[in-house]
Structure 1
Amino acid sequence: MSGVLSFGGSAEAYTQEVPPPPSQLTPPQSGQGQLIQTREIDVTGDGKPEMVSLVGLKSDMNSPYYDKLFISVVGQGQAQVVIPLEGGYNPKMDFCDFIHDKLPQIYMTSDTGGSGGFTSNYIYSLKNNVPTEIPMPEPLHVKATFENNYKVKMKIEETGKSYTLDIADRKEAYEQFGMYNQGKIVKPIIVNVDAYSLLKPVDVDRDGFCELKGVQRITGIANADTLGYVTSVWRWHKGQWKLKKAAVTQTLMTSMVRVPSPEDED
């Protein structure tokens, strides 16, 4: 559902003192906004569905970018809750019980639009109509280095497990770049392991509780040189995220890596 309506808010979640009647379950008034998504679902635990709406503000209506995003929660006989969020592209809400309190929390994600393909992600609990942000798990810490014979050695610090990627399919580009000479490293380059490019709800155990699956991209001599991905699955346990599993997957080169020129490095 989409449309144009009035909306506004401060930098922090807030509630309206006087709850609106059931016939007026709409986002608050103040400033032009666009209704992106809405759903009726009980997120407060009062046994009655609330109207949960995702609303965006744009300075340019022809642009897909939302300068600001808001979540509005309106229930019968309850004060309205407004949660301001950072702007982004392609915003979307999902609902799942992450923290095992037998209520769905609100999960919201949007693309940042950067070249790294990063996303902004939020989880909010509205139990008892009180907005509480659930922190996201930190990205995995990964040590990675190029080795002789076109190899990348990696170690995930949180698990202690090591992995080796065979990057011989990129031999021509890496030799041209001057990083390798007949399989030996002559120009050391840092292997980058990015923050999350994806962090999405998954019900791994199919038990009605959601985990979070994280994806971190591994890049080589250029941002377009994707070597593989570090994946992780996180489960909420005793008030914090616990790592359930982690792995490294390799990406084969489907097209020739663009070799950066010396000017690119300056």
Structure 2
Amino acid sequence: MQTRNIFYKLPAIIIIAIMIICTAGIIVAFNYHKIFETDAIKVTSNTNNTQNDTTGGKKTVASLNTFDGINSTSNESHSTTSNTSSGENPDPTVSERTSVHTSHQYSPDFVPGSTFSQDDSENGKTRYVYDSTRIDADGDGAADDVLLVGENNDTSAPFGHQTHNLAVVVRDGVTGKFAAFLLPEDFGVMLPRFNIGSFTAAKKNEIMVSVETGGSGGIVLYALMAYENKKVVSVVSQEELNKGLALKVVCLPGFEMKIIDKNTGVNSIVNFHDGAAVPLYIDSGVYNKAGVFLKDQSYVDDEVMDDLFVSLDPADDDGDGTQELHGKQRISFIAHANTVAWAESVWSLKGGRLRLVSEKIEAYNP
């Protein structure tokens, strides 16, 4: 009889045990969720942005903004990250670029060499900060963070020597949101950087990006951007900004060449009677030893490399508060190593177009 009573009470005991286990589990889960949520707020609290939750309250969230397939958050947690090579030794490239190529202070939140946080499911590649500064980019009185970010195609190369998919990014100083302009995929590969200057109006902060192509011609590609109406926009087309002077080379008898600007007619005679290139021209069948020109103009046109700019440097020549652009182009014949002349030009920017201010073409004298 006693055994029978225990048998009938057994299901109740099991039910009570299950209830105790479930209650304990709920308490543990609640505490775990509470700890996790607290840690998440700590991680994202630097953004100082809030949004309404479903209960009408507010919670802190990371500042997230999508542009051209890039989802980005500020990387304050990486602001002191030093750039290292594959051997874990500090790469001097960043500090060298600071002294040689830039005149601005880096943004304290986005130090070059640090990663630029993202969640790009299609790309899946890490972007890095290559240049940065903190200025009032749109004239609203608040300091904005201006960045140049991109991928690194070869982690074994020195930092900044194998860049890809570069973008100019601005974090707005009022809203904390990001806006960006994605540069062409093949827009240079080496040492991306920018200068801040006034190119269209006095006291206006515009962003001039330069990226080296890494080729034997020493060519540098440029883009001129501005931050307006919460967007990063192009001030002048990259094609127009990078085309330079349209030059033509005409070979003359007696080991001479005439370099002509096809648009303005400005020209210069290059004499290389005693130059080191004379054997090259003779061996290539361009001239004979007597200086007789043996080819035709179509051959010359094919063999001339009137490259894009090797430099396009800003300077306020007339003191009006806006900067002109001083360009330099290399003219080579048959091979890049055989430079025959330099073409220098000065440009101003009016109404979204480049206007030629002056030019000169001079023979190359090593």
Give the alignment's TM-score, normalised by structure 1.
0.80
More strand by share: 1
**Distance in 1, Cα, partners of 2:225 & 2:139:** 14
Deviations 1:87-128 (A, max 9, x none): 510111110011116311011111112233222211111123
Paired residue total? 243
Aligned to 1:262: none
CA contact (8 A) 1:179 1:186 kept: yes
| CA–CA separation in structure 2 for the residues paired with 1:245 and 1:15 | 44
CA 1:160–1:84 in structure 2 vs 1: closer, same or farther (change >3 Å)? Answer: same
Inter-CA distance 59–241: structure 2 relative to 1 (3 Å threshold): closer
Matched, 1:171 2:278: yes
Structure with higher RCO (Cα < 8 A, 6+ apart): 1
Point out where structure 1 has 5 or more consecutive residues left out of the alignment. 1-6, 255-266
Deviations along 1:17-53, one digit per CA (max 9) or x if unpaired, are xx98x99966553252222222110111111110112
Taking a change above 3 Å as real, the CA distance of residues 140 and 180 of structure 1, as seen in their structure-2 partners, is same
Superposition map of 1:20-99 within 5 A: 29-30=118-119, 31-63=125-157, 64-78=161-175, 79-85=177-183, 86=187, 88-99=189-200
Contact 1:9 1:82 in 2 (8 A): no
Do the aligned residues in 2 keep the contact of 1:15 with 1:80 (CA within 8 Å)? no
Aligned to 2:344: 231
Q: Which amino acid aligns with 2:291?
A: G
Q: CA deviation at 1:134?
A: 1.8
CA shift for structure 1 position 222? 2.0
Tell me the secondary structure at the aligned position of residue 280 of structure 2: helix
Q: Distance in 1 between matches of 2:342 and 2:146?
A: 34
Q: Secondary structure at the match of 2:189?
A: strand
Corresponding residue number in structure 2 for 1:219: 332
Q: What are structure 2's unaligned runs of at least 5 residues?
A: 1-63, 80-108, 111-115, 120-124
Contact (CA 8 Å) 1:68, 1:88: kept in 2 or not?
no
Does the 8 Å CA contact 1:8/1:29 hold for their aligned counterparts? no
Q: Which amino acid aligns with 1:238?
A: G
Q: Letter of the 1:91 partner, please give it.
A: P
CA distance in 1, matches of 2:198, 2:345: 19
2:204 paired residue among 103, 106, 110: 103
> Contact 2:170/2:232 (CA < 8 Å) preserved in 1?
no
Whether the 8 Å CA contact 1:46–1:128 is kept in 2: the answer is no
Residues 54-103 of structure 1: CA deviation (Å, up to 9, x unaligned): 22211321122012222221123233112222451011111001111631
In 2, distance between residues paired with 1:113 and 1:128? 35
Q: So what's the TM-score if we normalise by structure 2?
A: 0.59
- 1:234 Cα shift? 0.7
